[in-house]
Structure 1
Amino acid sequence: MPSTTTDTSAPEVSATLKTPPAIPARVAGNEWYEGAQETLKANLAKRPIDRPAKNVILFIADGMDPTTVTAARIFDGQQKGMSGEENVLAFETLPHLALSKTYNTNQQVADSAGTASAMLTGVKTKAGMISVSDEAMVGDCQGALDNPVMTAGELAKQAGMAVGVVSTARLTHATPATVYSHSADRDWESDADLPEGAEGCTDIASQLISFPYGDGIDVALGGGRGNFMPKEMADPEYENRTGRRTDGRDLTAEWEAQGGTFVWNKAGLASASGKVLGLFEPSHMQYDADRSVNDEPSLSDMTATAIHLLSADEDGFFLMVEGGRVDHAHHGGNASRALSDTVAFDDAVATALAMVDLEDTLVIVTADHGHTMTFAGYPKRGNPMLGVVVSTEDDGSPSTEPYPAGDGKPYTTLGYANGPGAVLIGHDEDEHFERPEVSDEEAQGLDYQQQALVPGYSETHGGQDVTIFAGGPQAYLFDGTVEQNYIFHVIDFALGLNQRAEAASAE
């Protein structure tokens, strides 16, 4: 009599589970199926690097949320002659991913000071404060003095490592400042910014020069010359500009008196050695789309110089690199410059990946917070990322005419939920307000401000999670959705910062 027992065993599959099965004949030659199989092969070959790191590079693109990443990927691909969607950015090749929750302790939608402080110190704090714990209040000098939190930069120097900070923003701006300073207010960038009653607190620029650990910061490259020079001193590049300091101190001269080199242009950076302070603009550096390639180094140039100089330390290095102006372009409602600076940031990551070995260097790429840029409208494959929406016909073939919005007018693929490009829709007794026409040529212009829903002199940050991309020793610890301050803890674990700093102080 035949058995009635049901066979519940699993079907036979690959014994090793380390190689994908053969491609079925029914899908042979299908580029999507075969491409996914190649991705599966690559992922099956990945193995965690579970050993201490010698070096860590933390890349932060200010304001680079997932929508910005996707739009920049397509924009970059189209600049290379591709349709764009199939492109892959350099940092997207890193093998490990996580999502980072960006809120501050007092704000649902964060600012850069609180978020960068979380990544550099391991604790979340209020918006507007630099490497100070949540126990202090914004603007409270004594509270900041009583509640500083050690930064990864400080711990690395105590551990005997080299430390560098690079940014296209002012070096005294919120994100780079969290590497080396503590402040009750992110706006206290020079002594001219300190309010009455802030006795005992020092400005952020001064703290870079007087960094008290080890032999000081080794490499600092970015903008913000004005905060390091007295107001009586002429700027070396712009004849009508002077410094901002009211205390008469020339911090660039003080840096040189400590044995360092100060440079202010691309040529100076190319020949610099030893401990280097590079300040390439009185305020923020130029957007990459506006940069003079002869006079101002790119973020990639600065990253390469920093890695070259810091690598001379046999004890390893910690480097923070910020693409600071992605955020500024978003605030201006200007997607063109935001995407260009995101691509320039990716170029810097590519430069770093070509210079370091992921067997001993942990590379982390993330953002501090998001923005309100939207990506919508059913544009056809390969539609210009900055253009108006041209969709597909009913049969799926590409159209040639802009797809109209409900008001019958074209609209762009990228827009903002709020900001200076806002359009007033309504009427009063005298005038009816309509959304302006936008041509594809206008939309793709460098200075175009994307249309926005809610008016505002500046577009705001967004509260969405941002992505963490990572490769190298202990990078596999980035997994799932994590609090933003967790990033510091992986860095600390990978380098043994606290342990090494404590051991050094005990000697």
Structure 2
Amino acid sequence: PAATAPGAVAVDVPAVAHPAGETPQWWYRSGAARAAGSGAMDGKAKNVILFLGDGMSLTTVAAARIFEGQRNGNPGEENLLSWERFPATAFSKTYNTDSQTPDSAGTMTAITTGVKTHMGAIGVSAGTRNDCADSLNKGLLTWLQLADSAHMATGIVSTARLTHATPAATYAHSPERNWENDTDVPEAAKAAGCTDIAQQLLSTARYGRGPLVALGGGRGEFTTVEERDPEYDDKVGQRLDGRSLVTEWQQAHPQGAYVWNANQLQAARNAPALLGLFEPDHMRYEIERKDDPSGEPSLAELTKAAINTLSRHKEGYVLMVEGARIDHANHSGNAYRALSDTVALSDAVRAAVEATSDQDTLIIVTADHSHTLNFVGYPARGNPILGKVKDKGGEDGVGGLDVARDGLGLPYTTLSYANGPGYTGATNQQPAGPKVYPHNPSSFDPAAGRPDLSHVDTEHPDYMQEALVPTKSETHGGEDVGIWARGPGSKAIRGTMEQNTIYHMIVQATPRLRQRLCEAGTCDAKGVPVDLPTPKAFERKADAN
């Protein structure tokens, strides 16, 4: 890092062999050095909001920018999503300790703890994915738990199940991301001392009060098989241990409000604590929200509700907001839903910008990993982003505007996927040709050439972009993702950085977090938190409130 940066503080990092020398302590110290060397210690943030667009690759951002612009009646390319107006930008290197292309668990753990880890890990340093005993002494302190310990208010918002990888990595410790409720945890892991992720949303209160705001999906993970779902008569909870975690949360927050639809959320605006579980599983895609029988809030409404509750606390707050279903749509090979959910995240970021000040609130927008979405051809200016490519003769640009054709004389779309269920061969679910969302095949036949898209409406929300390689689910991509930031400390966010550095940018730029780490003896002589914190040391003392 450039030691010339304003407020730069130098931290020595030992040279190690890769990957063998990459201990949790090395990851932590190297991330601290990068942040301090960029001037993060100069930050004076009172509040921090991290927005995480799950699977929001740079291609997804560019396509969503145009999608929104065109929806507003403009050519589209000139548009900017809300965070693209932020002054600070950087690139994030996303690989996991054991995987070139990462997953959401290992990446979010890097962002929340300052330490890179294995694919599938939630809040624990690198180990063996299914080995509970191995993970027990590998728990890492997240910046939400740190903030709770420092008497700040904390919140979590996601359009996924609250037990899903990204939100879970803010409060839980598990070597295996899929241990979401008690029925998911193998008996051997239970015997070794591991608990399901859902119950950890309650037990994380040992650091202070626990999250005062938790809004998302996943009712089924928190309720028992004896409990009928309040919204869908034909559904019950999933837990077999007899624990209704919703009831337990209500007992822990007697003045708090448990809500499961938009009207209840609005009515609970003055409650001191909020638990919102708006679906048994993930929340709906933005395009499908209108079909919710009870009314489902938008991500922007959830964000405003969270800030409204958390901002009452004079000590400041930290908040994580995830636009989760961008990732799910990309996995499903459906660009429309990926782009419309990216625009919904942009609306949420705009709502946060309007509700806060850049004088005291650091806002960071990033993604955990990329996807295989491609943006191709030479479409003319203003060409519908979901449409077939129309050009004026390709790169040479001679001729009138016409549908571009491949080497077989067939039209093709601007957006496509390198792999996924959009492969055009016949499957056990749909015949040969363009695929329609939802499509979850388990077997494929080889495609005979490409389909003729001349009479196919590729702008239909359910059209699935062609995929080159047939896979049941489209995969993540391994290239860098963007980081955009505004507010105190954001000047340090620039260049290309390891993903775990984001944690260090946050804790160094927030005096209250930094001070709590120093109180625990993890700082060097210059006040930079450089030593890996021991979570136990940050738990509330028995006699404290």
**TM-score w.r.t. length of structure 2:** 0.81
Tell me whether 1:166 sits opposite 2:120 in the alignment.
no
Is 1:239 the counterpart of 2:233? The answer is: yes
Displacement after TM superposition at 1:49 (Å): 11
Is 1:478 paired with 2:499? no
Question: What amino acid does structure 2 have at the position aligned with 1:194?
Answer: V
Which is higher, the Rg of structure 1 or of structure 2?
1
Query: Of the candidates 179, 198, 209, which is equivalent to residue 205 of structure 1?
Result: 198
Task: Give distance in 1, aligned partners of 2:514 and 2:361.
Answer: 18
Matches of 1:55 and 1:484, distance apart in 2 = 21
Measured at CA, do residues 398 and 215 of structure 1 come closer, stay the same or move farther in structure 2, by a change above 3 Å? farther
Q: 2: CA distance between counterparts of 1:146 and 1:49?
A: 30
Q: What corresponds to 1:184 in structure 2?
A: 175
Three-state SS of the structure 2 residue aligned to 1:210 is: helix
| 2:386 alignment partner in structure 1 | 386
Q: Which residue of 2 aligns with 1:88?
A: 80
What amino acid does structure 2 have at the position aligned with 1:147?
A: K
**Which residue of structure 2 lines up, in the alignment, with residue 275 of structure 1?**
273
Determine if contact 2:40/2:505 at 8 Å carries over to the other structure. Answer: no
1:434 Cα deviation (Å)?
A: 2.5
Q: 1:466 aligns with which of 457, 475, 481?
A: 481
Tell me the equivalent position of 1:13.
none
Question: What stretches of structure 2 of length at least 5 have no aligned partner?
Answer: 1-38, 427-431, 433-444, 521-537
Q: Partner amino acid for 1:289?
A: I
Alignment match, 1:320: 320
Pairwise CA distance, 1:139:
1.4
**Alignment size in residue pairs:** 457
Measured after TM superposition, the shift of residue 431 of structure 1 is 9.7
Query: Per the alignment, in what secondary structure is the counterpart of residue 157 of structure 2?
Result: strand
The equivalent residue for 2:471 is 456
Question: Which of 490, 499, 504 is the equivalent residue of 1:489?
Answer: 504
How far has the Cα of 1:436 moved from its partner?
1.1
1:3 aligns to what?
A: none
Whole-angstrom CA distance in 1 between matches of 2:447 and 2:180: 45
Partner of 1:423: 424
Tell me, yes or no, if the aligned pair for 1:390 and 1:399 is still in contact at 8 Å: no
Q: Could you tell me how far 1:494 is from its partner in structure 2?
A: 1.0
1:303 corresponding residue in structure 2: 303
- Alpha-carbon distance change, 399 to 280 in structure 1, aligned in 2, over 3 angstroms: farther
Per-residue CA deviations over 1:134-177 (Å, capped at 9, x if unaligned) read 1x211111122110010001100001100000000010000000
Give the superposition deviation at 1:334: 0.2
Aligned-pair Cα RMSD in Å: 2.2
- Equivalents in 2 of 1:393, 1:108: separation in Å? 38
Matches within 5 A, 1:5-24: none
Mapped to 2, the partners of 1:116 and 1:252 lie a distance apart of 25
Q: Any stretches of 5+ residues in structure 1 without a counterpart? A: 1-46
Structure 1: distance between partners of 2:514 and 2:123: 16
Shift of 1:423: 3.2
Inter-partner Cα distance in structure 2 for 1:255 and 1:498: 30
Distance between the aligned counterparts of 2:466 and 2:280, measured in 1?
31
Query: Which has the higher mean CA deviation after the structures are superposed, 47-56 or 159-168?
Result: 47-56
Where has structure 1 moved over 2 Å in runs of 4 or more? 47-51, 393-401, 423-426, 501-507
After superposition, give the CA deviation of every residue in 1:307-343 in whole Å (9 maximum; x if it has no partner). 0100011000000000000000000000000000000
2:250 aligns with 256
How far apart, CA to CA, are the structure 1 residues paired with 2:201 and 2:53? 21
Structure 2 counterpart of 1:226, one-letter code? G
Task: Indicate yes or no: 2:53 matched with 1:61.
Answer: yes
Matches within 5 A, 1:45-194: 50-134=42-126, 136-194=127-185
Matches for 1:271-420 after TM superposition, within 5 Å: 271-272=267-268, 273-292=271-290, 295-393=295-393, 396=397, 399-420=400-421
- The 3 A distance-change label for structure 1 pair 449 and 319 is same
Q: Hey, what does 2:460 align to over in structure 1? A: 445
SS at match of 1:443: coil
Deviation at 1:210, TM superposition (A): 1.9
User: 2:215, 2:174 → 1: CA distance?
Assistant: 20
- One-letter identity of the residue aligned with 2:516: R
- 2-structure distance, mates of 1:373, 1:361: 33
Structure 1 Cα separation of the partners of residues 365 and 348 of structure 2? 11
Q: Tell me the alpha carbon deviations over residues 252-295 of structure 1, each in whole angstroms, 9 at most, x when there is no partner.
A: 11111112321100011111111110000000000001112760
Go from structure 1 to structure 2 and tell me whether the alpha carbon gap of 1:254 and 1:501 turns closer, same or farther (over 3 Å shift). Answer: farther
Q: Do the aligned residues in 2 keep the contact of 1:156 with 1:501 (CA within 8 Å)?
A: no
Q: CA deviation at 1:438?
A: 1.5
Q: In structure 2, how many angstroms separate the alpha carbons of the residues matched to 1:477 and 1:305?
A: 29
> What secondary structure, in the 3-state scheme, does the structure 1 residue paired with 2:308 have?
helix
2:272·2:309 contact (CA, 8 Å) conserved in 1? yes
Letter in structure 2 aligned against 1:267: N
Q: Closer, same or farther in 2 for the Cα pair 1:486/1:398, shift >3 Å?
A: farther
Distance 2:98 2:446 in 1: 42
Call closer, same or farther: CA 1:49–1:281 in 2, change over 3 Å.
Answer: same
Q: CA deviation at 1:501?
A: 4.9
Task: Give the Cα separation in 2 of the matches to 1:142 and 1:223.
Answer: 30
**In structure 2, how many angstroms separate the alpha carbons of the residues matched to 1:275 and 1:446?**
37
1:27-63 per-position Cα deviation (integer Å, ceiling 9, x unaligned): xxxxxxxxxxxxxxxxxxxx99944100000000000
Inter-partner Cα distance in structure 2 for 1:502 and 1:158: 13
* Alpha-carbon distance between aligned partners in 1 of 2:239 and 2:399, rounded to the nearest angstrom: 58
Cα distance in 1 between the residues matched to 2:273 and 2:168: 18
Quote the Cα distance in structure 2 between the aligned partners of 1:161 and 1:397. 62
Instruction: Give the distance between the partners of 1:49 and 1:385, measured in 2 at CA.
Output: 42
Decide whether the 8 Å contact of 2:40 with 2:492 is kept in 1: no
